[in-house]
Amino acid sequence: MPSLSSTILVAGANQLLTLAGPSEPRRGADLSRLGLIEDGAILIRDGVVAAVGRTSDVRKLPGARKAKQVDATGKVVMPAFVDSHTHLVFAASRLRDYEMRIAGAGYEQIAKAGGGIVSSVRAVRQAPRDELLARTIFFAQQALSYGTATLEVKSGYGLDGESEIKLLEVIRDASVFTRAEFAATFLGAHVVPPEYRDRRGAYVRLLTRDLIPQVARQNLAEFCDVFCDRGAFSLEETATILRAAKRHGLKLKVHAEQLTRTGATALAARLGAASADHCDHANAADISGLAKSGTIATLLPGACFHLGLREYPRARQLIDGGAAVALATDFNPGTSPTLNMQMVLSLACTQMSMSPAEAISAATFNAAHALGRAGRIGSLEPGKQGDVAILDCEDYREIPYYFGMNHCWMTIKKGKIAWWREKE
Ligand SMILES: [Zn+2]
């Protein structure tokens, strides 16, 4: 009887990075362990990793000969990137903000000129659903072309019931048209929308009493996130919103200590959040709190780069202090318009003194933890999902070293080719 199973063999990799190891988030020296196999191969059956090892050994396994063959000679094969923090659904770029900032304008000046987050909110509220859907699919395909197979995607540019739900439905609907996998996050607490400026309490109540219950009931998001900072939500408001989300079964994320230190990292650790993101101004107490928790510190150097900042998150202190660090793009039109995780690795290495190996662990295995998916993705081990990036370099250190380039040659999602350079 003909088999209906689909099997794919990726063989001859100069370096196969398995990231195999303990299931817990990687900390300290464990971040440097990539589980490297020279002349490596991986066999994926029905979307699941069946075997990983030396090419000569894997080739001998049942099904390997008849499998679809992918020749990775001279290349690096690794788990596909997991981009655990994006604001991928938006209606327009913010080119005027960009030029104003280059010319020296600050956040307040840009907002006064009609730019900033509020301009993205205006654009999303007006945008037809189909247009948002098409853009979301386009960007998901872009992410695949850079070796990213799973992305967290936040709402947060709607900021009213109808528009926030529209964004979450677009995320849900877009996943039908792309092999990229989405984890949806409700970020109704991005900023207080202009119409609620003088009644913040009413907006927090709208979130906690109406929108969070609705999002949870309709299963539109897995996570709830709050931007806790100057100009956004206070620590107290953040706690109120996150507790409501937790009661409704949503997992938690926080934009923490980006512009100022607010204490949101400690709150995230206390509430058992999946991640505290940014952490630019995290202090020693925040770091030791993270070290004792399962909360991942997701660092977003793309935002620092695009904003032209001199100071980056202190990855060394975080890693040496025992925090489990992840890396993500923070893809958004205001502060980090990139989907290139390889560029994020470059920034992590040169601006944050992470080693290439640490950066790769942070962008795959720990990022999977930040999305509650480490049991399924983030490493290449038997039984895990066949999500693979194949990069056209001989050594993994070339990925950050040749910065700003796209080394990705093929992206495989659940054992299926999701993007291939030679097919473009
Ligand atoms: Zn963000």
Query: What single string gives the DSSP state of each residue in 313-358?
Result: --HHHHHHTT--EEE---BBTTTB----HHHHHHHHHHHH---HHH
Inter-residue contact 303 to 333 (CB < 8 Å): no
Tell me how far the alpha carbon of residue 87 lies from the centroid of ligand 1, in angstroms: 6
Tell me which DSSP letter residue 233 carries: B
Rounding to the nearest 10 degrees, give the CA dihedral for residues 275, 280, 285, 290.
20
Tell me how far the alpha carbon of residue 332 lies from the centroid of ligand 1, in angstroms: 7
What pLDDT, on the 0 to 100 scale, is given for residue 294?
97
Tell whether the model's pLDDT for residue 371 goes beyond 60: yes
Per-residue tokens: 401: 């070293």
What pLDDT, on the 0 to 100 scale, is given for residue 2?
46
Tell me how far the alpha carbon of residue 85 lies from the centroid of ligand 1, in angstroms: 6
Tell me how far the alpha carbon of residue 86 lies from the centroid of ligand 1, in angstroms: 6
Tell me how far the alpha carbon of residue 331 lies from the centroid of ligand 1, in angstroms: 8
Tell me how far the alpha carbon of residue 344 lies from the centroid of ligand 1, in angstroms: 15
Pairing, β 7-17 against β 76-79: parallel
Rounding to the nearest 10 degrees, give the CA dihedral for residues 110, 112, 114, 120.
60
User: What does the pLDDT look like over 230-274, one tens digit per residue?
Assistant: 999 999 999 999 999 999 999 999 999 999 999 999 999 999 999
Tell me how far the alpha carbon of residue 225 lies from the centroid of ligand 1, in angstroms: 9
Residues in the chain: 424
Tell me how far the alpha carbon of residue 335 lies from the centroid of ligand 1, in angstroms: 9
Tell whether the model's pLDDT for residue 182 goes beyond 70: yes
Tell me how far the alpha carbon of residue 57 lies from the centroid of ligand 1, in angstroms: 44
| Nearest-angstrom CA–CA distance, 326 and 25 | 9
Tell me how far the alpha carbon of residue 376 lies from the centroid of ligand 1, in angstroms: 24
Q: Count CB-CB contacts under 10 A for residue 334.
A: 24
Tell me how far the alpha carbon of residue 131 lies from the centroid of ligand 1, in angstroms: 22
Inter-residue contact 67 to 400 (CB < 8 Å): no
Tell me how far the alpha carbon of residue 76 lies from the centroid of ligand 1, in angstroms: 30
The three-class DSSP label of residue 290 is: helix
Tell whether the model's pLDDT for residue 5 goes beyond 80: no
The three-class DSSP label of residue 365 is: helix
Half-sphere exposure of 293 (CA within 13 A, CB side): 24
Query: Higher pLDDT residue, 424 or 413?
Result: 413
Tell me how far the alpha carbon of residue 209 lies from the centroid of ligand 1, in angstroms: 24
Tell whether the model's pLDDT for residue 306 goes beyond 90: yes
What pLDDT, on the 0 to 100 scale, is given for residue 423?
84
Tell me how far the alpha carbon of residue 15 lies from the centroid of ligand 1, in angstroms: 33
CB contact set of 128 (below 8 Å; sequence gap of 6+): none
Euclidean distance between the first and final Cα of the chain, in Å?
35
The whole-chain average pLDDT of the chain stands at: 96
Tell me how far the alpha carbon of residue 153 lies from the centroid of ligand 1, in angstroms: 10
Helix ranges, 212-272 (H): 212-217, 235-247, 264-270
DSSP-assigned letters across all residues of 47-60: TEEEEEEEHHHHTT
What pLDDT, on the 0 to 100 scale, is given for residue 413?
98
Tell me how far the alpha carbon of residue 184 lies from the centroid of ligand 1, in angstroms: 13
> For helices 356-363 and 341-352, what crossing angle results, to 10°?
140
For residue 111, what pLDDT band results from cuts at 50, 70 and 90? confident
Tell me how far the alpha carbon of residue 40 lies from the centroid of ligand 1, in angstroms: 36
What pLDDT, on the 0 to 100 scale, is given for residue 424?
74
pTM to 2 decimal places: 0.97
For residue 375, what pLDDT band results from cuts at 50, 70 and 90? very high
Pairing, β 81-83 against β 7-17: unpaired
Amino acid at 297: A
User: What does the pLDDT look like over 47-106, one tens digit per residue?
Assistant: 999 999 999 999 999 999 999 999 999 999 999 999 999 999 999 999 999 999 999 998
From residue 138, how far is each of 92, 126, 129, 146, 423 by CA, in Å? Answer: 13, 20, 14, 13, 17
Tell me how far the alpha carbon of residue 120 lies from the centroid of ligand 1, in angstroms: 14
